[in-house]
Amino acid sequence: MPELPEVETIKRGLKSFILHKKITKIEVLCDKSFVGTPALATVVDLRRFGKALIIDLDNGQSLMIHLRMTGQLIYDGEKRYAAGHPSDNFTAKLPNKQTRVIIQFKDGCLYFNDQRKFGFIKVIKTSEVENDSFIKKLAKEPWELNPDEFYEKLQKHKAAPIKATILDQSIICGLGNIYADEALFESKIHPETKSGKLTKKEASALLDAAKKVMDRSIASGGSTMATYVKADGTKGDYLEKFALVFRRDGKPCSRCGGKIVKIRVAGRGTHLCPNCQRRKDD
């Protein structure tokens, strides 16, 4: 998915289009993608918990949206605002084959598209949002986590590769496959390093790097491919502009000129510069 910066981008953008607007109709095209009974109400707030987006309504209910791997939210009204997993859907005619839910407003439609159907929209009581099983488990985001706290957490998973550890939302919240790779590169840590082998200094550097790469992404409107269009017509282009290792295997490292490689860690494709990110002896 869509990692924290992308969901933050969605939240900020949607706010300007749907806040205080009434939902006039909800069409569910794929049962798996919508949990609960759709009700028509007015949007009173948009919030984000890690990678989950919450749309609060004035009937005491909230829509919890998780895009998982391939979810997208595309608002189509006077302007089009698209964010999430980048694809041609951002500019395509909608609804299409991948449209799972359509949330209609008086002057626009919010399309929830999701190729792989891992994502979902779920109706929950607003008062229960923070007790939701997913949200409840979320750890602090990098900006709220202090280095000592982070270091202590790493000791509880000392045998797991650091990449797996920082992808675990109950340890540190917000990173996904892109920003995990970028943060490890930025802090010069090999992704397979056992979490318990990191020094306090390295843990602190990694935390700083996580904040840095995500701050930069949020500032540019989230990462994306070329088809991504923001509300103002500009493109969010973290991958093109800022990614230094993600999907850059075979290309030279911007820091040392060495060759970026792709390996598999924790079941995920992982990009690194073997020269800058030295493996420690186990």
Partner DNA sequence: CTAGGATCCTGTCAGC
Partner DNA sequence: TGCTGACAGGATCCTA
Select which of 79, 247, 268, 274 is catalytic. 268
Q: Of 40-48, 102-110, 144-152, 171-179, which part binds DNA (CB under 7 A)?
A: 171-179
Burial label for 122, CB within 10 Å (0-12, 13-18, 19+), is middle
SS (H, E, C) 224-263: CCCCCCCCCCCCCCHHHHCCCCCCCCCCECCCCCCECEEE
Nearest to 181 by CA among 61, 266, 72, 101: 266
Query: Has 212 been annotated as catalytic?
Result: no
Q: Of 12-20, 36-44, 74-82, 217-225, which part binds DNA (CB under 7 A)?
A: 217-225
Q: Is residue 161 involved in binding DNA (CB under 7 A)?
A: yes
Which of positions 89-108 make contact with DNA (CB under 7 A)? 97-98
One residue of 13, 14, 33, 85 binding DNA per CB under 7 A: 85
Residue 109, amino acid: C
Q: Is residue 195 involved in binding DNA (CB under 7 A)?
A: yes
Q: What angle do CA 53, 220, 17 make, to 5 degrees?
A: 45
Q: How far is 28 from 11, CA to CA, in rounded Å? A: 22
In sequence order, which ranges of 80-237 are alpha helices (DSSP H)?
133-137, 147-155, 162-167, 177-186, 200-219
Query: Has 161 been annotated as catalytic?
Result: no
Nearest to 175 by CA among 30, 5, 59: 5
Closer residue to DNA in complex, CB, 157/212: 157
Query: Has 3 been annotated as catalytic?
Result: yes
Q: Is residue 13 involved in binding DNA (CB under 7 A)?
A: no
Closer residue to DNA in complex, CB, 1/207: 1
Q: Is residue 186 involved in binding DNA (CB under 7 A)?
A: no
Q: Is residue 266 involved in binding DNA (CB under 7 A)?
A: yes
Which of positions 31-60 make contact with DNA (CB under 7 A)? 32, 50-51
Q: How far is 231 from 16, CA to CA, in rounded Å? A: 9
One residue of 264, 278, 279, 280 binding DNA per CB under 7 A: 264
Q: Is residue 157 involved in binding DNA (CB under 7 A)?
A: yes
Closer residue to DNA in complex, CB, 105/238: 238
**143, two tokens:** 């900006």
Coil, helix or strand at residue 111: strand
User: Nearest approach, Cβ of 100 to DNA (angstroms)?
Assistant: 10
Closer residue to DNA in complex, CB, 95/222: 222
Query: Has 86 been annotated as catalytic?
Result: no
Select which of 2, 5, 95, 142 is catalytic. 2
Select which of 51, 80, 153, 163 is catalytic. 51
Q: How far is 272 from 165, CA to CA, in rounded Å? A: 17
One residue of 186, 223, 248, 253 binding DNA per CB under 7 A: 223
Catalogue the active-site residues. 2-3, 51, 268
